[in-house]
Amino acid sequence: MKQKKIIKIILSILIFQISFLFLVISLYAYHLPLEIKKQILYGVDSTGIFFQNKPIIRFFPLENGPSVYERAQNTFLAIQQMTALGLTEKDIVLIVTKNQVQAIVQNDFSQPLFFVSQKESDINKTPQLQLAKEWILRIKTIFDWIPNYRNTDYTIWEPREYLPCRGYAKAYQSSQVHIYPYFIAAHPFFPIGTKIRITNIFKKWSIVVTVEERITASDSMVLIEKDAADAIGLGQTPQFVLMEEFR
């Protein structure tokens, strides 16, 4: 009996040590050698995302819009979240608009990954869409570096059906004077004129808004004018909503 107990104890210890070893290995595997660095390139200040000390994306200052560091930080966090959720380049969608090409991570929140401005296209002497594809292929090297990540392909929307989806919304005050007979909204890539039914998931209140403005970066996926936000119980703090196309 004593020998059996001793054997059980030894086996339990071995199983615990093996489990702990696998845990340490998995934690190390997902500790990405990813960092944000500032550089002067082509005589212009830039901020880039580096993987294993090699640049994969470089952002350049824009006259209007978020700072290069903010853009790099948002992309950095989005890549980390993708690896934590087991997402790959298959979950990246490219949205082609008149002024930019935007990459969106198609998870429950439709999270922006990056956008390629005309300035980055000019500096790299590469069309915006092609440059966006190159950035995605470089991000793919991160997924390839992580064990058991699958090889997939990404999709280009020019545009395609993207609703319904879930995301965040909050109130905003437009800087422009509008004379619209309806409530308006701002969104990173939904086509201008798109009518969206916004539903406050927690209160079950809905309202229809029309996309009339564009935003380049925000902590919310959609901004709706204050009166419309008040009507469904939204404020300045982003809240979870359901977005459906209204026809």
pLDDT band at 220 (very low <50, low <70, confident <90, very high): low
pLDDT score of 114:
92
- pLDDT at residue 111 tops 80: no
Last residue of a domain, one of 157, 185, 211: 157
pLDDT score of 162:
56
Q: How many helices (H) and strands (E) does the chain have?
A: 5, 13
DSSP string, 212-236: EEE-S--SSSEEEEHHHHHHTT--S
- Cα–Cα distance for residue pair 36/51, rounded to 1 Å: 9
- pLDDT at residue 50 tops 90: yes
Last residue of a domain, one of 157, 191, 215: 157
pLDDT score of 59:
92
How much of the chain, in percent, has pLDDT values that exceed 70?
A: 72
> Are residues 106 and 73 part of one domain?
yes
- Higher model confidence: residue 207 or residue 107? 207
- Higher model confidence: residue 23 or residue 15? 15
Instruction: Decide: helix, strand or coil at residue 162.
Output: coil
Which range of residues forms the domain containing residue 235? 165-245
Strand order in the sheet with 54-59: 34-41, 44-51, 54-59
- Higher model confidence: residue 12 or residue 233? 233
The answer to whether 33 touches 51, Cβ cutoff 8 Å, is yes
Q: What is the CATH classification number for the domain harbouring 211?
A: 2.40.40.10
Last residue of a domain, one of 136, 157, 178: 157
User: Does residue 16 lie within any of the structural domains?
Assistant: no
State how far the alpha carbon of 29 is from the alpha carbons of 69, 87, 150, in Å.
Answer: 26, 15, 15
Give tens-digit pLDDT for 134-172.
999 999 888 888 776 554 444 444 334 456 677 788 888
Q: The tokens of 166 are what? A: 């879930």
State how far the alpha carbon of 93 is from the alpha carbons of 71, 117, 158, in Å.
Answer: 18, 17, 10
Confidence (pTM): 0.52
**Which of 77, 78, 74 is closest to 89 using CA atoms?**
78
